[in-house]
């Protein structure tokens, strides 16, 4: 029974098969998005020519405080860009999910109509 049974049971005409193939193709990504491995930083650390900053004790003076602040804020633009890219990808994937659900709903509706239609009805 069910939608899959109806499609494999011979009710699927060439149009439905083509629509299912198109849906499957559209669901595949055209390019692979590279993501860091689990536990890896989203933004890789940059090698620094600055002297090493110690985080074990409070800053000794304003110069050391400024150096710490600079080191902490340096990756912010790249992090924001990475967040924007991730948000754009999520939006695109949400749109693809909505389109796939709608197409699936239409195909299920058509399969249901084909199952209850008289044998002489045109497909």
Q: Residue 91 contacts by C-beta under 8 Å, 6 or more apart in sequence?
A: none
Q: Residue 4's pLDDT is what? A: 43
pLDDT in tens, 1-58: 344 444 444 444 566 667 666 666 666 555 555 666 666 766 566 665 556 777 888 9
Are the C-beta atoms of residues 19 and 108 closer than 8 Å to each other? Answer: no
Q: Which residue intervals of 1-123 are DSSP H helices? A: 2-6, 14-27, 62-73, 76-116
| Confidence grade of residue 110 (pLDDT, cut at 50, 70, 90) | very high
Model's pTM, two decimal places? 0.48
Tokens 């497909």, residue located: 123
């Amino acid at each position: 029974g069910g939608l899959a049974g109806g499609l494999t049971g011979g009710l699927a005409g060439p149009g439905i098969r083509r629509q299912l193939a198109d849906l499957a193709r559209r669901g595949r990504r055209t390019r692979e998005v590279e993501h860091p491995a689990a536990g890896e930083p989203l933004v890789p650390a940059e090698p620094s020519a600055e002297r090493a900053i110690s985080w074990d004790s409070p800053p000794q003076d304003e110069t050391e405080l400024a150096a710490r602040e600079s080191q902490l804020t340096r990756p912010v633009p790249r992090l924001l860009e990475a967040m924007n890219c991730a948000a754009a990808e999520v939006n695109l994937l949400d749109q693809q999910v909505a389109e796939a659900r709608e197409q699936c709903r239409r195909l299920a509706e058509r399969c249901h109509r084909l199952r209850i239609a008289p044998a002489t009805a045109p497909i």
